[in-house]
């Protein structure tokens, strides 16, 4: 991730700090960004993020590189949650199977 931030910083002519902060600030739901500068030059580099707008290609590269890679059982959780939540209905055009039935009448499957 650091190598990619440095690469994009070189491409844009901005500091790595500005690239990282501009990317974070562009994420949905982010309304403020906390900076942690000790020196005035660090503070100025962080403030330069306010003037930097990353293009879609740069944002996509950073988003892809920072995506978490979750292992089992994470890949199952999404499907199981949809089955439990939607219970065999179609929501937003996406059909889900009905949850398994353990009992039918008084007999267990």
Domain spans in the chain, listed from the N-terminal domain onward: 2-66, 74-108
The arithmetic mean of pLDDT across residues 66-89, rounded, is 74
Say yes or no to pLDDT of 100 above 70: no
DSSP state of 50: G
Residue 99 pLDDT: 66
d(CA 93, CA 37): 48
Residue in 39, 69, 42 with CA at minimum distance from that of residue 20: 42
pTM assigned to the model: 0.63
CA distances for 4 relative to 29, 42, 44, 65, 70, angstroms: 23, 20, 22, 8, 21
Place 71 in a pLDDT band, splitting at 50, 70 and 90. confident
pLDDT of residue 10: 96
Q: CA–CA separation, 74 vs 70, rounded Å?
A: 6
């Amino acid at each position: 991730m650091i190598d990619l931030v440095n690469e994009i910083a070189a491409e844009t002519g901005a500091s790595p700090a500005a690239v990282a902060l501009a990317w974070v600030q562009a994420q949905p739901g982010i309304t403020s960004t906390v900076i942690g500068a000790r020196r005035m030059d660090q503070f100025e580099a962080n403030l330069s993020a306010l003037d930097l707008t990353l293009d879609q290609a740069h944002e996509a590269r950073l988003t892809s590189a920072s995506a978490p890679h979750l292992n089992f059982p994470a890949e199952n959780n999404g499907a199981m949650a949809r089955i439990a939540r939607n219970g065999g209905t179609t929501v937003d055009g996406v059909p889900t199977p009905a949850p398994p039935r353990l009992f039918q009448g008084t007999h267990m499957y």
